[in-house]
A and B are shown apart, each in its own frame.
Chain A
Amino acid sequence: MDESSYWNLPSSHLLGSVPAVVNEESEASYGRRGGGGRGYQTLGPPTEGFEQQSQNNWKGVFSISSYTQYFDVDTDVVVNRLISSFYPAGGDFFNKIGANPDLYGLIWITTTLVFMLAAFGNCATYLIQKRTDRTTTWSFDVGYVNAAACGIYGYSLVVPVAFYFLLRYLGSNASLIRFWCMWGYSLSIFIPTAFLLLIPVEILRWIIILVAGTASSCFVTLNLTSYIGGSNDLRMMMIAAFLLQMALAIFIKVWFFP
């Protein structure tokens, strides 16, 4: 990736923002995003330069236009990425994203998943109670919404940040937006899984969630490996990513579909 070129630039005075180009004299015209530490701009197309502010300040954080670059996708692009996230075998998700990672997938897949878990979790709990005890009546536990929101939003926001900081500390280049994008799309397989987990047969539920968890974890691990260029030190990271995703799958099964 071309991101390695800016390691050579004196950048300590650009606190929180990263110049997105190769040579120093064009730094002023392209370089600093007003978005502070949030918008980690890697190499975007040069035409984005005119949107940026000339000094490093926090004004961009509160303006919508500094975030539209992360939503610059069309319907077919999103659908394409979604479908590719269902097949864990290819390790090429980051190539597919290219220079255009999007946060649309992260936000709306997690939101859909929260809703599905709350809704189908309640239905599934009712169905399996009905099997054992014929007299149970339907009751809607609104606590499922809270648990789903905290769990899913927390996981999908915090885990990529943790990996980003860890990988940066260990020296490899990493892009937070791309990590958020990838982890967001990796959760998409749990949406049909939530629907399938309605089946009130316990063994089948465990099989379904383990298959889905494995697929999702493989997706995350393979893509992470191919992005970082797996060396021995980073193997721990890959295993940790795999285990975290499996832990999320188990959590979903145990909490929402007991």
Chain B
Amino acid sequence: MALRDWDLWGPFFFIVFLGLTLSWSASVKKSEVFAVAFALLAAGAVILTLNVLLLGGHIVFFQSLSLLGYCLFPLDVGALICMMENNVILKMIVVCVTLAWSSWAAYPFMSSAVNLSRKALALYPVFLMYVSVGFLTIAID
């Protein structure tokens, strides 16, 4: 991925798509589900970037937003599959695989941006965000 050419269309599309997919899968409170998913992802990306900057890391703000947005692609695929499936075990497996894929994609960028002694502090929130999105994907029925 050409990291220097960041753009926000991709992340925007992925976030909206994930929100829509989760909203379609929900049987009640659809608009609230979309609102929660969109807010979580959009605010989450901004806050994660700010977190790295505050810990004294060196990243470009929009580059990081762009990367975190594009790394949502596996979770989008996972959410799409989970929308069409109803088996909980299968959903869990799919979400775990896509979660691992997303984390593996985001890890090199995030870990190289901060000091070695603060790496875990920068990576934990990324992990938290992806796990919460994964949980939403499994839990929404």
Contact = CB atoms under 8 A, between A and B. Distances in A.
Q: How would you classify the secondary structure of chain B's contact residues: helix, strand, loop or mixed? A: helix
Given A64-B53, A142-B29, A142-B32, A119 B135 contact: yes
Contacts of B118: 73-75
B36 A75 contact: no
Nearest to B124: A108
A71 B56 contact: yes
Contacts of A108: 124-125, 128
A234 interface: no
A2 interface: no
Interface in B124-139: 124-125, 128, 131-132, 135, 139
Which residue among B26, B120, B121, B131 has the maximum number of chain A CB atoms within 10 Å of its CB? B121
Given A64-B50, A140-B139, A146-B36, A71 B132 contact: no
A108 B50 CA distance: 13
Q: How would you classify the secondary structure of chain A's contact residues: helix, strand, loop or mixed? A: helix
A58 interface: no
B28 interface: yes
A142 B124 contact: no
Contact of A143 (B27, B29, B125): B29
Interface of B: 26-29, 32-33, 36, 50-51, 53-56, 115, 117-121, 124-125, 128, 131-132, 135, 139-141
